Amino acid sequence: MSPILRDGEAHRHVGADCSAPLIRLEHVVRAYGRGAAVVTALAGVDLTITQGEFVAVVGPSGSGKSTFLNIIGCLDTPSSGRYRFKGIDTGTLDVTGRAMMRRSSIGFVFQRFHLIKRASALDNVELPLLYQSVPRGERRKSATAVLAAVGLSQRQHHTPDQLSGGQQQRVAIARALITRPDLLIADEPTGALDSVTGAEIMQLLKQLHRERGTTVVIVTHDPSVASQASRTICFTDGHIKPEHFDDAGSRT
């Protein structure tokens, strides 16, 4: 496991261990259901991702990619094993503790965008700040700036159904970025988009990674998307296949 990129900004969070890797999974198991119907989505995963990596997660459908993202994004907890985020054992956090971790350090981008339908692009983007009690004026300013950064200055007051798929995904990315997270997680962010628009979204993510040093973990079925990552993790049946480190070189 070689660290490839180390140009990320310094950790901002108190209590976090700056020298620890951003993400560290030790024998992580996630099983759904119980008894005979039990499904093991993650079957003992060991993995480290360091600050500043751009990781592509690939693998067949049902192999556990989304489950993996949910766990590293503190949306879900392992059935057994240990997950450390910034050196903090997330097993020690309660529901609110995990929500605090998400709001301060993690941004999510979903395949189906998951925007709030009746709210304008601006309102959607500033939502994470609202829950952090940032005053309205400041919220607006940040949201406007982030929307501009994803190239949507002209669409601030449009609601999701007045926007194209690519534009909606840009709003979702802006929403994920407004809190300046250490980790950006994207589950098939281009899956619902045509290839041209998908390529644009990938450009945007890569630019972010380059300019801000944000760690990016992205699930994709598209080999051309995966090839742009600094590292590729391949899931099969809840296991990680041994990695090919030489793939890292293909990043440009």
**Single residue of 38, 39, 130, 148 touching another protein by CB under 8 A:** 130
**Shortest distance, CB of residue 116 to another protein, whole angstroms?**
6
Strand 231-236: give its sheet, edge to edge: 106-109, 183-187, 215-219, 54-58, 231-236, 239-240
Contact between 62 and ligand ATP by CB under 6 A: the answer reads yes
**Shortest distance, CB of residue 76 to Mg ion, whole angstroms?**
13
Contact string (CB under 8 A) for another protein, positions 135-174, x = contact: xx--------------------------------------
Q: With contacts defined by CB under 8 A, name the span among 1-9, 104-112, 198-206, 219-227 that binds another protein.
A: 104-112
**Single residue of 175, 209, 212, 231 touching another protein by CB under 8 A:** 175
Calpha distance 229→249 (Å, rounded)? 9
Contact between 33 and ligand ATP by CB under 6 A: the answer reads yes
User: Residue 245 binds which entry of ligand ATP, another protein, Mg ion, none, with Cβ cut-offs from 5 to 8 Å by kind?
Assistant: none
Nearest residue (CB) to Mg ion, 63 versus 168:
63
Site for Mg ion in 56-95 (CB under 5 A): 66
By three-state DSSP, how is residue 90 classified? helix
Contact between 32 and ligand ATP by CB under 6 A: the answer reads yes
Label the pairing between strands 23-32 and 80-85.
antiparallel
Q: State the Cα angle at 214 between 192 and 82, rounded to 5°.
A: 90
**Shortest distance, CB of residue 186 to ligand ATP, whole angstroms?**
13
In the chain, which residue ranges form alpha helices assigned H by DSSP?
65-72, 95-105, 121-130, 136-149, 165-177, 195-212, 223-226
User: Residue 118 binds which entry of ligand ATP, Mg ion, another protein, none, with Cβ cut-offs from 5 to 8 Å by kind?
Assistant: another protein
Q: State the Cα angle at 106 between 103 and 111, rounded to 5°.
A: 110
Which residues contact residue 60 at a Cβ distance below 8 angstroms, ignoring those fewer than 6 apart?
235, 236
Contact criterion met (CB below 8 Å) for 150 and 143: no
- One-letter identity of residue 251: R
User: Residue 145 binds which entry of another protein, Mg ion, ligand ATP, none, with Cβ cut-offs from 5 to 8 Å by kind?
Assistant: none
* Binding region for ligand ATP (CB under 6 A): 32-33, 39, 41, 59, 61-67
